[in-house]
Amino acid sequence: MTDLTFASLLASRICHDLISPVGAVNNGLEILADESDPEMTEQAMALIRNSAESASAKLQFMRLAFGMAGNVSEMVSLDETHTLAQGLVGTGPIKLDWQVGTPSLDKSVVKLLLNMILIGVEALPRGGILRVGVQRAGATNLMISAEGAKARLPEKSAAILRDGAELNAIEPRESNLLLTHTLATELKSLLQVTLGDETIEIAATI
């Protein structure tokens, strides 16, 4: 197993995340091509707008969370990070509680934070509150807390975050978990994962 294998897993994960909104845009265009009723036309346009916004938000988020945009060593504004996180959450049932007390962080730390946020979003299938905290007092402390009905993180996922995994033991949907573990390891940090009753917390000290 090589870096190419991991890149393939992550690419499959990205494609999976984008299939739904891009497919919805295509469906909306097909409706417009065959529809003359004004009400149906407006519904199709709303579907296209919402799906395009969702796809764009996911692409912008993943570009920084997974990719190599810009200078690797540059500082990233946490206002920008907040915007990316809010775009990912959108206007759905997940409410973002942003508790960040510093203006910027090194890009590698922001990548770790964004991946933690993504895990928190996916842990809330029925919505809830996603709290994001960043504090700097000597060390930098990152924390996300996902609270809501049916909130859960499988034990295998928690184990990947804590200990990593062999590439041949993970699925594409788990590739971001391994990336999160790897980012933390490169920053000389260990991820602390706490699984409670409809609550998941992930923290790192750097």
pLDDT in tens, 118-160: 999 999 999 999 999 999 988 999 999 999 999 999 999 999 9
pLDDT at 19: 94
| Residue 8 pLDDT > 80 | yes
| Residue 70 pLDDT > 60 | no
Query: Can you give the residue ranges of every domain in the chain?
Result: 3-205
| Residue 73 pLDDT > 80 | no
Helix, strand or coil, per DSSP, at residue 64: helix
Asked whether 92 and 127 are in contact (CB, 8 A), the reply is yes
Q: Angle at the Cα of 191 (from 154 to 108), degrees rounded to 5?
A: 115
Asked whether 184 and 141 are in contact (CB, 8 A), the reply is no
Class of domain 3-205: alpha beta
Distance CA 176, CA 109 (A): 15
